[in-house]
């Protein structure tokens, strides 16, 4: 991991076979690997590669944007994207398959490290760190799985043979139990920070504590009086008390490539402009717009309800959206709209765009997995829920985020209206960051939000089982012990 983009590497990915049946392709044979510190380092590097795959593509982003109320796919685009937007998803939908397979590839990488690295003769502190990183990454993948599918097979050992890969789903609490154990192991093993900027993108103690706070928030769900509220608040406070994170004064600075690994970042997935990048620029520019390489793809558009949720004085609006551009040939200004059905004239998500990209879908903006502003909002929400309403500390936390956006302080709210304010602030602060659908599900608000966002004749009704994605049919076919979620 000798350079700033240590997570840009050869991606050892499997093909389309069932995930639980595979060791990562390209992984060196155990007879010739796992012998020294360099092998351990390469193993950890490989484990991060899966995150690059997940967040470069649409695996987490698209469901959180269009299955909620923030974005709308163009009806002339991919059929699977339109299907999940309309809540007509089936078990052969590609999104469900991608989420599942990528997560289990990442879990296999972590399990290999946890099994093989402990016996390597090497510096013990470095070994401890590598094992902490593996625990963190495994927890992250299982956290995605449990929020998309509920109970899933719990694989904690390296898979080296097809024997024994048929396994049933573990219960949701059991999956969360492993996630919590992994993150507790990670927070004691990982450093507060790394001495060299060459290690930007690696998990730290703060990343583990922050993700654990988020896990407790998810476990609290929509249950008044849940003990997880106080645990989420306490863990978020531990991150705050580390004293190493802060908000950028300007919201645009959060996403600037020059600030990767900066003071607001707890954990991010790093990309390299024009070499090993992402699709956040060309992919989400207005369709055919000649302002990006290959012109814009226009994968999906911004919903009217999201766009109009920003007040005129919210400084995040100009950073988050592309609302017009100057045509490079005609020099005329092209105005974009949330109402016009033309994909070439749609307001676009823009805060993760890389204006310097010159080669196709190869933008270099990091994927912001967790930011300090989220810690503040977790703390505010969990503290209010734990105490039956907001106090000074809860208000201070949410107002710190609002003030950066140019908004006035909140005050005088009860528990219910404060909760509403938190959810709205999360929507505005984190749109296009893979958060919204998870938030609506955990708070029991998904069905109402989808019903309210009916632009372009969506006409979707969320049934009870659709707070989960269907388990991919290929996994059901390959694993006789695995049963489908009822309703699919």
Residue 280 clears pLDDT 60, i.e. is over it: yes
Whether residue 122 is contained in a domain is answered as yes
pLDDT(25) > 80: no
Asked if the structure places residue 195 within a domain, the reply is no
Tell me: do 35 and 153 sit in the same domain.
yes
What value does the mean pLDDT take over residues 477-481? 94
Residues 140, 181 within the same domain:
yes
The CATH number linked to 256 is 1.25.40.900
pTM of the model: 0.93
Domain of residue 443, residue span: 203-266+370-453
User: If you average pLDDT over residues 185-212, what whole number do you get?
Assistant: 96
Judgement on whether residues 280 and 175 belong to the same structural domain of the protein: no
Asked if residue 198 belongs to a domain, the reply is: no
Number of domains into which the chain is organized: 3
Q: 301, 330, 365 — which closes off a domain?
A: 365
Q: What is the pLDDT of residue 197?
A: 87
Residue 1 pLDDT grade (very low, low, confident, very high; cuts 50, 70, 90):
very low
Pair 235, 277 in one domain: no
CATH label of the domain that carries residue 38:
1.25.40.890
In this predicted structure, the answer to whether residue 22 has a pLDDT above a threshold of 70 is no
Residue range 72-76: mean pLDDT, rounded: 88
- In a domain, residue 89? The reply is yes
Any domain includes 196: no
Same domain, 92 and 237: no
What's the chain's average pLDDT? 92
Instruction: Say if 439 falls within a structural domain.
Output: yes
What tens digit of pLDDT does each residue of 316-366 get?
Answer: 999 999 999 999 999 999 999 999 999 999 999 999 999 999 988 899 999
Q: Is the pLDDT of residue 18 over 50?
A: no
pLDDT of residue 75: 80
Where does the pLDDT of residue 78 fall: very low under 50, low under 70, confident under 90, or very high at 90 and above?
Answer: confident
Q: What is the mean pLDDT of residues 242-253?
A: 98
Query: Residue 16's pLDDT band (boundaries 50, 70, 90)?
Result: very low
CB proximity list for 266: less than 8 A, separation 6 or greater: 204, 206, 207, 210, 239, 245, 369, 370, 371, 372, 374, 375
386/327 same-domain check: no
Are 432 and 485 members of one domain? no
| pLDDT at residue 17 in the model | 32
Residue 197 lies in a domain: no
> Do 355 and 333 fall into the same domain?
yes
Q: Are 312 and 409 within one domain?
A: no
């Amino acid at each position: 991991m000798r350079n700033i983009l240590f997570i840009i590497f050869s991606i050892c990915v499997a093909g389309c076979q069932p995930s639980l049946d595979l060791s990562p392709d390209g992984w060196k044979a155990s007879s010739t690997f796992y012998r020294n510190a360099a092998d351990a380092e390469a193993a950890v590097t490989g484990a991060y590669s899966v995150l690059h795959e997940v967040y470069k593509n649409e695996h987490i982003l698209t469901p959180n944007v269009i299955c909620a109320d923030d974005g709308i796919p163009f009806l002339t685009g991919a059929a699977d994207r339109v299907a999940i937007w309309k809540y007509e998803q089936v078990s052969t939908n590609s999104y469900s398959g991608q989420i599942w397979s990528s997560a289990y590839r990442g879990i296999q990488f972590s399990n290999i490290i946890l099994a093989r690295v402990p016996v390597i003769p090497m510096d013990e502190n470095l070994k401890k760190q590598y094992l902490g990183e593996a625990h963190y990454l495994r927890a992250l993948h299982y956290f995605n799985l449990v929020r998309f599918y509920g109970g899933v097979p719990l694989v904690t050992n390296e898979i080296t043979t097809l024997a024994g890969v048929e396994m049933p789903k573990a219960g949701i609490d059991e999956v969360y139990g492993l996630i919590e154990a992994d993150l507790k192991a990670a927070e004691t093993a990982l450093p507060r920070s790394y001495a060299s900027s060459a290690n930007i993108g690696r998990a730290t103690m703060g990343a583990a504590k922050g993700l654990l706070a988020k896990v407790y928030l998810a476990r609290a769900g929509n249950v008044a009086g849940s003990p997880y509220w106080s645990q989420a608040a306490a863990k978020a406070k531990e991150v705050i008390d580390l004293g190493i994170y802060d908000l950028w004064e300007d919201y645009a600075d959060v996403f600037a490539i020059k600030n990767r690994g900066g003071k607001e970042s707890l954990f991010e997935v790093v990309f390299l402009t024009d070499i090993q990048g992402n699709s956040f620029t060309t992919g989400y520019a207005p369709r055919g717009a000649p302002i990006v390489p290959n012109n814009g793809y226009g994968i999906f558009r911004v919903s009217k309800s999201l766009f109009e949720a920003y007040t005129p004085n919210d400084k995040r609006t100009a950073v988050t959206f592309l609302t017009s551009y100057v045509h490079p040939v005609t020099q005329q200004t092209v105005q974009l709209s949330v109402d016009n059905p033309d994909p070439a004239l749609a307001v676009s998500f823009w805060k993760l765009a890389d204006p310097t990209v010159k080669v196709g879908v190869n933008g270099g903006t990091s994927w912001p997995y967790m930011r300090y502003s989220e810690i503040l909002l977790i703390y505010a929400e969990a503290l209010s829920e734990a105490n039956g309403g907001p106090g000074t500390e809860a208000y201070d936390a949410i107002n710190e985020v609002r003030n950066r956006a140019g908004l006035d302080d909140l005050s005088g709210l009860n528990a219910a209206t404060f909760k509403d304010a938190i959810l709205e602030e999360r929507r505005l602060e984190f749109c296009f960051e893979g958060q919204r659908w998870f938030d609506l599900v955990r708070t029991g608000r998904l069905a109402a939000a989808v019903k309210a966002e009916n632009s372009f004749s969506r006409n979707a009704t969320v049934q009870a089982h659709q707070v989960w994605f269907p388990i991919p049919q290929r996994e059901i076919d390959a694993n006789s012990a695995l049963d489908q979620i009822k309703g699919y």
